Amino acid sequence: MRITVRGQIGHHLCAHVHKRIAWLPKPSFTHRSTVAIGRSPQSSSQTPDQGAARRPSRARGIPEATVARLPLYLRALTALSERSVPTVSSEELAAAAGVNSAKLRKDFSYLGSYGTRGVGYDVEYLVYQISRELGLTQDWPVVIVGIGNLGHALANYGGFASRGFRVAALLDADPAVVGSSAAGLPVRHMDELESIVESQHVSIGVITTPPGAAQQVCDRLVEAGVTSILNFAPTVLTVPDGVDVRKVDLSIELQILAFHEQRKAGEEPDRTESVLDRAPGPVRAAAAKLRRAAGGSGKARTAAEPSAKDAEAAPKGKPGKGGEGELSAVMPA
């Protein structure tokens, strides 16, 4: 028998039924793992999804700033796990990671982890959850290009293997370096790059070459199929869409520290003198050359610019202090 409900009563009844259906939980057909790293799951709501390890963070809507902080949380959690600490509060974990607790809780909300009031976060489960989100539950082969001092140091760094990164090959173009070994691995020629990337399924490349060769190496890596690059060369790389680059420049970090040290010591630059007077010789010489080409532009002469009297007194063929002759002699390679 079919019953038809018409009019305003039928409209409200249908709306009520649809509203109730919309709030019903959707069935999930995803097979979920029942084993987490180092522990058994406490409840089905915390059971990790095996497919999430390969799911990109961008698809999950995690901000890049949060992704950058996840390794800090993981390092602090790993230290707690090694001390057999079962749970940790947001305040304690935030202090260990060097962030504020509100930011930490916000970051963890993107992972779907909210902790337990009065208990905190389960350390072992958070280690698994962050490792999964960062893709560290699988092996990542890495190639290092440029086996100088820095390349040797990175090849011997033991932290790669413990964090899921395996150095698959060391590459260099210098015949004097090719054939040597570092960290038990032979240094192979750059001509083998493409075959290594294909056979080892490499997606991450590390560049430790001089700055002049970095872009060419980067292009070779991208053409071979590498989609993530860690750049130690002091230069900016140009890459196509879909390729991620992370830059590590130790000199920039040292300059930032020098800025803070100057401020802590109360050494404000003297405003009565030009900033160029405190700059290195090559910078002063280049600035002086530009001002001479521009006719001086009415600005006061600095120590980098010899006066006309000094220029006449200077022996011919020998430029004065800070002149062009000094530029090529002291300009860093």
Q: Which residues span the domain enclosing 72?
A: 55-133
- Name the amino acid, one letter, at 116: T
The answer to whether residue 30 sits within a structural domain is: no
Q: What is the mean pLDDT of residues 310-319?
A: 46
Higher pLDDT, 92 or 323: 92
- Whether 46 is covered by a domain: the verdict is no
Q: Is 146 found in the same domain as 119?
A: no
> Residue 185, class by beta-carbon neighbours within 10 Å (0-12 exposed, 13-18 middle, 19+ buried)?
middle
Give me the number of domains the chain comprises: 3
199 in any annotated domain: yes
On the question of pLDDT at 262 being above 80, the answer is yes
Categorize the per-residue pLDDT at 48 as very low, low, confident or very high, splitting at 50, 70 and 90. very low
Locate all alpha helices (DSSP H) within 135-280, ordered by sequence: 149-155, 159-162, 193-200, 211-224, 250-264
Residue 24 is assigned to a structural domain of this protein: no
244 with 284, same domain: the answer is no
Position 286 in a domain? yes
pTM exceeds cut of 0.75: no
Encode pLDDT of 119-158 as tens digits: 899 999 999 999 999 999 888 999 999 999 999 999 999 8
Is 106 among the domain residues? yes
121 falls within a domain: yes
27: pLDDT confidence band, cut at 50, 70 and 90? very low
What pLDDT, on the 0 to 100 scale, is given for residue 270? Answer: 55
- Predicted pLDDT at 199: 96
Q: Check pLDDT > 70 for residue 1.
A: no
| pLDDT value at 316 more than 80 | no
